[in-house]
Structure 1
Amino acid sequence: MGFIEEINRRRTFAIISHPDAGKTTLTEKLLLFGGAIQTAGAVKSNKIKRGATSDFMEIERQRGISVATSVMGFEYKDMQVNILDTPGHQDFAEDTYRTLTAVDSVIVVIDVAKGVEAQTEKLVKVCRMRDTPVMVFINKMDREGKDPFELLDEIEQKLGLTVRPLSWPVGMGKNFRGVYNLFDQKMALFTAHGKQSIDDTVLIQDLADSKLDDMIGDDNAETLREEADLINGVYPEFEREDYLAGMVSPVFFGSAINNFGVRELLDCFVQIAPSPQPAHTEEREIKPDESKFTGFVFKIHANMDPNHRNRLAFVRICSGIFERNKNYRHVRLGKNFKFSSPTTFMASKKSIIEEAYPGDIVGLYDTGNFKIGDTLTEGEQLHFKGIPSFSPELFQYVENADPMKSKQLAKGLNQLMDEGVAQLFIHQTSGRKIIGTVGALQFDVIQYRLKHEYSATCRYESASLYKACWITTDDPAILKAFRIRKAKNMAKDKHGHDVFLATSSWDLNSTQELFPEVKFHFTSEF
């Protein structure tokens, strides 16, 4: 298969939602249809030890939530599908925001009973800023929920999306009988044999067919015919170009846990979703079909294998072919590296690859050379744009709870901070270490992972801080004066940059007024 054909058959997307909308379950069922796994993990009960395939960290299995983006790939109908399952919880939104820079499209999962929730609004806003094509899956149709037409209105109002249903539910809750595929004009009738099997599908190509009445009952059949007419009258014809431009969002209904409507979603997705798209750098636009390799690091995961204490840098390939054991330029460090064991993923299962194409996500073993946002090229100086790193809003002093394990604590903190989920600051007068995060749950995750992955224990003490911001100025004398005047508020980050720790909103504003020549940065990418 040629280079262009390989690019065109790739579909790289993220699944996003509010917590508990069924995102990880949908991921499981997509993998099940793709033949990548044989049985789905039981996500709902944290008592079941075999958790969801995509939730591979121990804390995720215990809590029943995703706390890190996981990457999974499989082949379906001659297409290479790469799924990035993201955390839904708002405390891990930063990981999700970065992941959205590495995908070409997005599937949003919405709970039929709860409708559009706050976290979904935030994540879709990021997609709309980038004109990322969005597909919507309304989940849990086997439970009672909101009227489908009401839900479509809510999606349009709250998410700012223009929707077009491409499948439609027959009934809801106990009366849920299946979905009618408006895209292919086929009726798919499901019977749930059990929650871990792929169910049989009965196809009816014409809604006027009397077989429909026999299968789902006269009332259901009549209602479906009326609603299908209404949809075709109210919503515009589906045009793939509008979807690819981010102007229209196809909507599918189903129940992921029971495999209702998942096949319709996947079949349509591989047909209409975008292949790898151009990427933007500060220097120029990168097209996927360029012959020279480029890629960027959007995520670092420490300790994926606790036995080997290794780190993996997740690289999105933007152009060219990535080859094993070939020298590539690390732009920030100005050094060449070759990678002997590049891997692709099936959740926690990894396999070494010889080459990878635009749209693929490759894991590179890392000894500490990579930071989030780093670029790899064949020599060209490029800097990819739009990979956010936010200023923390919650702070705790971190203290060693076991003096015998200070080395392990230092190593654990160092590696976990490299993942970009939290920031470590060292106070310049007291020398105390401060962890800053954007969500409270991060503190629990760090403490848990330190204990279980690094055999180090820590305790937290409250730090009454308002904001951490990086400072720069062109005048060394002003910087020196700032450091002296604000010595009690000064810290260094992990990379030795100056950080101002504001104790309140007033403190920050008055300091900015006092030093107008000093620039205050609220992201660490400056």
Structure 2
Amino acid sequence: MPSADQPTTPSSTTTPASPAKEQATVLAEASRRRSFAVISHPDAGKSTLTEALALHANAIREAGRADGKAGRRTVSDWMDMEQDRGISITSAALQFTYRDAMINLVDTPGHADFSEDTYRVLSAVDAAVMLVDAAKGLEVQTMKLFAVCKHRGIPLITVINKWDRPGKDALELMDEIQERTGLVPTPLTWPVGVGGDFRGVLDRRTGQYVHYTRTAGGTTIAPEEVMDPDAAVAREGDAWTTAVEEAELLADSNGDHDQETFLAGQTTPVLFGSAVQNFGVHALLDVLVDVAPSPSPRVTVTEDTRPVEAPFSAFVFKMQAGMDTAHRDRLAFARICSGVFERGMVVSSARTGKPFATKYAQQVFGRERTIVDTAYPGDVVGLVNAAGLRVGDTLYLDKKVEFPPLPTFAPEHFAVMRAKDVSRYKQFQRGVMQLGAEGVVQVLRSDLRGDQAPVLAVVGPMQFEVAEHRMATEFNAPVSLDRLGYSMALRTTKDWVAQLNEQPGVEVLQREDGEYLALFPDRWRVTSVRNRLEGVVLLEDEIFG
């Protein structure tokens, strides 16, 4: 087996390409990639939009709904808890072609309790679509995720969704976006007809009218009819005239798209649509291809940049089990950062230095899988049987490279997990280990509590429900969860463990990454301990919003 710093190549009977030719191929393929995520507040229509995009790219024949209405479920929401509740809990990767581009859409959990998982997804994309409910405007979770995108320098395309229902005034929404995000909205389309009377859009780039026609249940592509301004005013009358006048106001207030300021995170192109009716979806796909950035060099832990044409490198941003109930395998979602991935190649893990064989590599479309033989920067590959990998791991070929680790969010809820049936202790231990490795929960342990009573730490309480559900259904090890009265966890060092454990209302446990966490009931107790223990090490994990 090759060492961590030796180049490795997959076995092949073909003559390998010259380095220059391979680099040219990688650059050409990377330029075709568009990798993005959709961010929104729960119930803004994210999963429905994801489904509509796949429909318009001919990746599926009919669009489903997260709530199961119209007779179909969404492809991305495959977990039974997601289907029961009509919300996204897991992240999912969908890949499809549109025009000459390869689209990598990484779906994110829709609930605020899973914001840490969403952050990991945002580390793996080059752009994001900010989905806004036309009636509710910018909601709390949307703003939290916007803050993450701003922190990471991710360009944002804004979609005003649900324009087929009554909502806020379009100009009012533009003011809200600018006031609350600091981004200048630059609408590329403008609605013809007020919210609830959605007839079509004025395409501000061409001046033409795109008229939409509803389909039964919105499960198929909505027909679009393009008209010139004279035909539009003859058909829509005052609704068209109003749209033209409002669009002219935008032009007078720097509301026209500029690619440089968009990529710099100063402006956001805006589109109007209705995901459930499949209105405006083609326009979004076109904008993604035309203006969203392709993969670019990535910063490494040494603060160098890794060019996309460099030898293969990738990082793991998501672990998922339970997708294939027949095999109980574990899938690592890896974002390709540089070079070409070829199935069968043996790569190295920067964290362990150990080799990892990529014999079983797949493209994941919701719960459906297909074998992938080749992938390029921007693509997301599912690596099967990835027991030795963790979230944040860097994989590489040739000389060692490592990308910055993904931050761990500070947990705010804590509970002791115990097996209901002690005879199923092995299944219990296996389940706890896997949930921790996937990042579903943080697993904390101490000598005092023992391995039979680990403490689960989460950002939001719904993570407890997912853990409890999966322990029962996947590992056949039903559990009980007893909530603890802590609300804060701060990192400390081994030297302070004994003294902190002596403080009233404080408990120190060790996380599986080796970090020691001191748990506190509230911030007042933190202040009290800091005053009592001079020089005590108490550090907060990074969290956004």
Counterparts of residues 84-99 of structure 1 (less than 5 Å) = 84-99=106-121
Per-residue CA deviations over 1:22-48 (Å, capped at 9, x if unaligned) read 0111111110111110011132347x8
Partner of 1:214 in structure 2?
234
How far 1:418 moved relative to its partner? 1.2
How far 1:131 moved relative to its partner? 2.0
Residues 1:519 and 2:541 aligned together: no
Residues 1:320 and 2:339 aligned together: yes
How far 1:77 moved relative to its partner? 0.2
How far 1:324 moved relative to its partner? 1.4
Q: Check whether the contact 1:101–1:386 (CA below 8 A) recurs between aligned residues.
A: no
SS at match of 1:189: strand
How far 1:329 moved relative to its partner? 1.4
Partner of 1:202 in structure 2?
225
How far 1:471 moved relative to its partner? 2.1
Counterparts in 2 of 1:236 and 1:145: CA distance versus 1, 3 Å: closer
SS at match of 1:522: coil
How far 1:261 moved relative to its partner? 1.1
Please give the alpha-carbon distance, in whole angstroms, between the structure 2 residues aligned to 1:231 and 1:450.
54
1:171 to 147, 168, 193: 193
SS at match of 2:83: helix
2:460 to 430, 436, 439: 439
Partner of 1:7 in structure 2?
30
How far 1:50 moved relative to its partner? 4.1
Please give the alpha-carbon distance, in whole angstroms, between the structure 2 residues aligned to 1:61 and 1:524.
32
Partner of 2:527 in structure 1?
509
Counterparts in 2 of 1:193 and 1:49: CA distance versus 1, 3 Å: closer
How far 1:291 moved relative to its partner? 2.7
1:364 to 364, 383, 386: 383
Counterparts of residues 376-455 of structure 1 (less than 5 Å) = 376-385=395-404, 387-431=406-450, 432-455=453-476
Residues 1:20 and 2:43 aligned together: yes
Please give the alpha-carbon distance, in whole angstroms, between the structure 2 residues aligned to 1:358 and 1:501.
41
SS at match of 2:287: helix
SS at match of 2:538: strand
Per-residue CA deviations over 1:54-110 (Å, capped at 9, x if unaligned) read 101111111110011111000000100000111121101111111111110000000
- What number of residue pairs does the alignment pair up? 516
Per-residue CA deviations over 1:233-278 (Å, capped at 9, x if unaligned) read 2234322122112121000001111111111111122111100022
SS at match of 1:448: helix
Amino acid at match of 2:460: G
Counterparts in 2 of 1:114 and 1:480: CA distance versus 1, 3 Å: closer
Deviating more after overlay: 371-380 vs 256-265: 371-380
Counterparts in 2 of 1:75 and 1:484: CA distance versus 1, 3 Å: closer
| Unpaired segments ≥5 residues, structure 1 | none
Partner of 2:81 in structure 1?
59
Residues 1:457 and 2:478 aligned together: yes
Please give the alpha-carbon distance, in whole angstroms, between the structure 2 residues aligned to 1:350 and 1:517.
53
Please give the alpha-carbon distance, in whole angstroms, between the structure 1 residues aligned to 2:388 and 2:533.
35
Residues 1:306 and 2:329 aligned together: no
Partner of 1:348 in structure 2?
367
1:29 to 33, 37, 52: 52
Counterparts in 2 of 1:204 and 1:420: CA distance versus 1, 3 Å: same
Please give the alpha-carbon distance, in whole angstroms, between the structure 1 residues aligned to 2:525 and 2:251.
58
Please give the alpha-carbon distance, in whole angstroms, between the structure 1 residues aligned to 2:419 and 2:141.
34
Please give the alpha-carbon distance, in whole angstroms, between the structure 2 residues aligned to 1:462 and 1:268.
47
Residues 1:466 and 2:487 aligned together: yes
Counterparts in 2 of 1:151 and 1:514: CA distance versus 1, 3 Å: same
Partner of 1:103 in structure 2?
125
How far 1:392 moved relative to its partner? 1.1
Q: Check whether the contact 2:500–2:518 (CA below 8 A) recurs between aligned residues.
A: no
Counterparts in 2 of 1:129 and 1:524: CA distance versus 1, 3 Å: closer
Residues 1:135 and 2:154 aligned together: no
Please give the alpha-carbon distance, in whole angstroms, between the structure 2 residues aligned to 1:232 and 1:273.
22
Q: Check whether the contact 2:67–2:83 (CA below 8 A) recurs between aligned residues.
A: no
Per-residue CA deviations over 1:351-400 (Å, capped at 9, x if unaligned) read 11112111111111234211211111124343322622112110111121
Q: Check whether the contact 1:286–1:318 (CA below 8 A) recurs between aligned residues.
A: no
Please give the alpha-carbon distance, in whole angstroms, between the structure 1 residues aligned to 2:180 and 2:46.
20
How far 1:490 moved relative to its partner? 2.7
Q: Check whether the contact 2:440–2:467 (CA below 8 A) recurs between aligned residues.
A: no
Counterparts in 2 of 1:352 and 1:286: CA distance versus 1, 3 Å: farther
Give TM-score scaled by structure 1 length.
Answer: 0.93
Deviating more after overlay: 161-170 vs 191-200: 191-200
Please give the alpha-carbon distance, in whole angstroms, between the structure 2 residues aligned to 1:213 and 1:497.
66
| Unpaired segments ≥5 residues, structure 2 | 1-23
Deviating more after overlay: 175-184 vs 244-253: 175-184
Counterparts in 2 of 1:302 and 1:515: CA distance versus 1, 3 Å: farther
Per-residue CA deviations over 1:192-226 (Å, capped at 9, x if unaligned) read 02211112211124x2x1x113322x211221221
Please give the alpha-carbon distance, in whole angstroms, between the structure 2 residues aligned to 1:464 and 1:225.
58
Amino acid at match of 1:451: A
Q: Check whether the contact 1:470–1:524 (CA below 8 A) recurs between aligned residues.
A: no
Q: Check whether the contact 1:295–1:319 (CA below 8 A) recurs between aligned residues.
A: yes
How far 1:417 moved relative to its partner? 1.5
Amino acid at match of 2:119: Y
Please give the alpha-carbon distance, in whole angstroms, between the structure 1 residues aligned to 2:107 and 2:410.
24
SS at match of 1:500: strand
Q: Check whether the contact 1:170–1:180 (CA below 8 A) recurs between aligned residues.
A: yes
Counterparts of residues 270-285 of structure 1 (less than 5 Å) = 270-285=289-304
Please give the alpha-carbon distance, in whole angstroms, between the structure 1 residues aligned to 2:55 and 2:379.
20
SS at match of 1:257: coil
Please give the alpha-carbon distance, in whole angstroms, between the structure 1 residues aligned to 2:499 and 2:402.
31
How far 1:516 moved relative to its partner? 4.8
Deviating more after overlay: 300-309 vs 326-335: 300-309
